[in-house]
Amino acid sequence: MGGCAGKRNKPETDKGAKLSNLPFVYKMTVQQGNLVTEDMVDRLELGMTQAQVRYLLGTPLLSDIFHTDRWDYPYTIKRGHRPIEVRKLTLWFEDDQLVRILGDFEPNPDRLAALEDEREIVVEVPDWQDNRGLINKTLNAVGVKTKD
Give the whole-angstrom CA distance, residue 34 versus residue 89. Answer: 10
pLDDT of residue 55: 92
Percent above pLDDT 70 for the chain? 81
Q: Is the pLDDT of residue 17 over 70?
A: no
CATH of domain 25-118: 3.30.1450
Assessment of whether the complete model's pTM goes beyond 0.85: no
Compute, in degrees rounded to 10, the torsion defined by CA atoms 76, 78, 82, 83.
40
pLDDT of residue 116: 66
pLDDT of residue 93: 93
More confident residue, 74 or 3: 74
| Pick from 55, 37, 32, 9: nearest CA to 105 | 37
More confident residue, 98 or 136: 98
What are the sequence ranges of the domains in the chain? 25-118
Per-residue model confidence as pLDDT tens digits over 62-92: 777 888 889 999 999 898 888 999 999 999 9
Q: Are 143 and 136 in contact (CB under 8 A)?
A: no
Give the whole-angstrom CA distance, residue 116 versus residue 134. Answer: 48
